[in-house]
Structure formats: C-alpha cells, structure tokens
Structure 1
Amino acid sequence: MNVANQINSEGFTIIDNVYSEVEIKKLISLIEDVTENKTENSTFRKSQDLFAIRQFHKEIPETLPYLFNKNLKDIIASTFGKGYFITKSIYFDKPEKSNWFVAYHQDLTISVDKKTEIENFENWTTKQNQFAVQPPIEILENNFTIRIHIDKTTKDNGALKVINDSHSKGIFRVENLEIKNETICEVEKGGIMIMKPLLFHASNKTTNNERRRVIHIEFSNQQLPEGLEWSEKIIVENLAFT
C-alpha cells in the first residue's frame, strides 16, 4: 500500500530515514541555541513534564531549511500535491521522567489571525495570544499533520496511540469512541509520522527514562472565507536553502 492510500484508509503512516544524523544534530543545535537562554513567554511553555514551543517555525526560522529537506518536500508533493502551506507548528520536548499524558482526542481547531463571525466557524478560543477556531469539517478533512521525530519514539516514552480509520467517522465525542484497531506509532529517530487531524490519537506517560522530542507541523491548501487568514502561513514551495 502506498503512502497516500495508507493515509486515506488508516488515517496515518510512518516513514523512517527522512532525516540524516547530520540533519538531526543540526536541528537539535539550532533549537538548543535558542532555548538555553530563553525565558518562558507566550509561545514558550516549560514544566517538569513538558517543554513546548508554539509557532515554532516563527520562533526558530533557522530550522526551516533543515526540516524541509528534499526528502520531506518529495513526500509532500508525491502524497498530497503542490500548493500546501504550514498553518501551525509546535515543538514538544517530553523529558525523561515525564508524567505528562494526553487522552484520546481529535485535532479540531485551526490558528487564525482574528476573531470574526463566520457561519460554521465555532468554539473560538484564545491561547498564548493566538486565536483558534473549529472550522467546517471539510477544511479539517483536507488538512494533514507531519510529526518529525528527533528522538527514537516507542511505547515506553510517549509514542502516539491511534485508532485506525477513526478519521473517516467525522467529528464525534470521545465518550462514544470505540477503542479497537489501536496502533502504537513507534518511530525511529529521523523518521516522520503523517496523520489526518480527525484521527483519534493519545499518548502515555514516559516509563523508560528516555527523552522524546517531536516537531509537529500542520498543513493546508485552502483559503479561508471572508478575509479570515491562517495566522502562521508559510508556503512550502518557498522553503529552501539560501
């Protein structure tokens, strides 16, 4: 089964060896250069269980040419086509002794530049000075997420668990979720996981004292209505080494 067919049927796929050891080391170096001296602010969140950077590609734009290497660009183009852009990016660093876990959920919101009354755009929130809203399901169904793994991720250090094919059922409450065909998405260092936002996913606490760092990037190719804009939009085809 090819990548596109697996994503359509199961809601996700895993691809190893997207990044070389040299590329991973460069990404780690760029992140550490910024984070070592950065105090907590609206986009940097730090606790004993989690360190997260929201709007990651804006906070550390130097990482973009390394994230969007030829391998990743080819995967996006061959799987989804051209015209896609970043809509959101988050860096997650789950420390070795983290008790942080996430229950099963769907990713139902998008980041936008302002709050305005638009039909079928619901459940507005503001987090870290960022507007978020639940758009019509058609937008969510067409988007995808890529999770770039800087560390080897296993069931013992918080690998995502997913319910296969749950993305095809629409939006529904987690209480109605029937947990069957569950997959633990273990990914090698330098590999990626691609998933649909409506796929139910969760992660457990860390039990093996191994760190788990992931860069989570969401993509779309759709224009929002009535002057609403994606707040973190960067066009993929424009990302290249200079």
Structure 2
Amino acid sequence: MATDTFNQQGFDFIPPLYSEEEILEIVNTIEVNTKDKVNFRRSNNLFAIRRFLLEIPEVLPLVFTQKLKSILTELLGENYFLVKSIYFDKPADSNWYVAYHQDLTISVNQKIDTESFGPWTVKPDNYAVQPPLAILEQMVTLRIHLDDTSAENGALYIIPESHNKGILRPELIDWSNTTEKVCPVEKGGIMLMKPLLLHSSKRTTNLQPRKVIHLEFANAALPNGLEWAERWNWKA
C-alpha cells in the first residue's frame, strides 16, 4: 500500500488480509448473533446491519486483527478513530444499479443546528448530516470483502482523483472526458477509498453473493456539542 498513491488517486487496495478460516469465523459470528433479531434491515435484495460493531461487538477481535491494526497505523497514524460501521450482505439474486455518487453524510447522535452542517436526515438510532467539506476531505473508508467481488459481481466503479474536486454533481460531469475504473477485490482483501471519490456499482451478472464490511474513519472533533454516533478507538 502506497499512502501517496492513495491520497492522489483516492483509492487503493490491500491484498487478502483474512484467511478462509478467519472469514468463516466472522460470517458465522454474524449469523449466530443475528438469527433471532428483527431490528436489522432484511429483504430479498439486502441484509444490512448499521452500527455493525456496536450491534455485534463479538466480531471486533475478528475484524481488527493485529494485521489490520498495523495497516491502519501506517495509513492513518495516531489521531484517527472509527466513526461508522456497516455490514452488507447482498444475496446472489440481489440485482440493482447504484448511480455515481459521493458519500457526503456523517452519522451523529443528535440533531443540533450548527453552521455549515446540513441538510439533515433522520436515520434509525441516529441522524445523518452533511458536514463541512474539510471534514469529508480527511475521512477514509475501508471496505473489507468477505466474497470475491468482480465487475460481474457488484465491484465498485470509480473515477480516479475525483475526490480532489470538492462536492460534485454527477449530472453535470463531462463523461466524455472522464476515465472510469472498475475495482475488483479478492475475498479477504480490502479496498481503501476517500468518501468524496465518485463511485457506483452495476447490476450483477454472475449471481454470486457480495458480503462487505464498510468502515469509516475520521480525525476531526465536531463543533457545537455534535457527537459522532459511533466513535470508537480502534487502537485500544
């Protein structure tokens, strides 16, 4: 992993970090701890757990191995903390298209009207709000892939370096002069990305499942009494 490349391009990859046995243990732990719970998002197209590490703390030592902590230390240094965790399980017949977008909101515990924060959205168990650009620019996302993910199987398509252009309106982009890149990831591997990087995903064509752990990290204290909904020190 080259930190300079990541900062310039807005994305990078880490080769498989988890073994088949480790992935199986993570998946089994999730299944055991969600079997009788109904408060997670379930449909024929998607199973999702927001506030994933808070809902299933049993996976913490399985996900945050010493290998991952070493990579996070190299990438983020000492001042970053986790601010969001989501688990996605898209079944083999889950098949929808996600248009190009940037991840522009953060999750906070309560709504406090604050200058340069907005618009606001009510989410289960927290609020989502668009913060100032400076906060979004320093954030980092890790996507841990628990299945092989290819162009035929929901891998992200991204626009390299688009994170350097502030907040973009995809409908105003000159796509004739824009380079698109597909981002396949091996099972157990990790994709790193900046939330402001334009990204999308196409419909699956190979009917393979896609399980992903989505983690977001930040290093900014929020003003005016606002608090991150899921702040956790991964170094502890």
TM bin (shorter chain)? over 0.9
In the alignment, which residue of structure 1 is the partner of 2:37? 38
Read off the aligned partner of 1:193 and give its amino acid letter: M
Q: Offset at 1:181?
A: 1.9
* Residue 81 (str. 1) matches residue 80 (str. 2): no
Q: For the residues of structure 1 that align with 2:97 and 2:91, how far apart are their CA atoms?
A: 12
For structure 2, the residue ranges without an aligned partner over 5 or more in a row are none
Check conservation: 2:112, 2:225, Cα contact below 8 A.
no
Check conservation: 1:111, 1:231, Cα contact below 8 A.
yes
Q: Deviations over 1:134-187 (max 9, x none)?
A: 000000000100000000101111011111110000002111234422111100
In the alignment, which residue of structure 2 is the partner of 1:153? 149
Alignment of 1:212-223 (within 5 A): 212-223=210-221
Q: For the residues of structure 2 that align with 1:22 and 1:206, how far apart are their CA atoms?
A: 26
Secondary structure in 1 matching 2:152: coil
RMSD of Structure 2 on Structure 1 (CA): 1.1
* Residue 17 (str. 1) matches residue 16 (str. 2): yes
Q: Offset at 1:100?
A: 2.4
Secondary structure in 1 matching 2:122: strand
In the alignment, which residue of structure 2 is the partner of 1:111? 107
Q: 1:198 aligns with which of 176, 196, 206?
A: 196
Q: Offset at 1:87?
A: 0.6
Calculate percent identity across the aligned residue pairs: 53
TM-score by length of 2: 0.96
Q: Offset at 1:54?
A: 0.6
For structure 1, the residue ranges without an aligned partner over 5 or more in a row are none
Q: For the residues of structure 1 that align with 2:11 and 2:75, how far apart are their CA atoms?
A: 12
In the alignment, which residue of structure 1 is the partner of 2:3? 4
Q: For the residues of structure 2 that align with 1:82 and 1:207, how far apart are their CA atoms?
A: 42
Check conservation: 1:149, 1:191, Cα contact below 8 A.
yes
Q: For the residues of structure 1 that align with 2:60 and 2:71, how far apart are their CA atoms?
A: 16
Q: Deviations over 1:75-114 (max 9, x none)?
A: 1111121121111111111110111221110000000111
Secondary structure in 1 matching 2:26: helix
Secondary structure in 2 matching 1:148: strand
In the alignment, which residue of structure 2 is the partner of 1:56? 52
In the alignment, which residue of structure 2 is the partner of 1:169? 165
Read off the aligned partner of 2:235 and give its amino acid letter: E
Q: For the residues of structure 2 that align with 1:194 and 1:19, how far apart are their CA atoms?
A: 16
Q: For the residues of structure 2 that align with 1:71 and 1:191, how far apart are their CA atoms?
A: 12
In the alignment, which residue of structure 2 is the partner of 1:125? 121
Aligned length: 234
Read off the aligned partner of 1:26 and give its amino acid letter: E
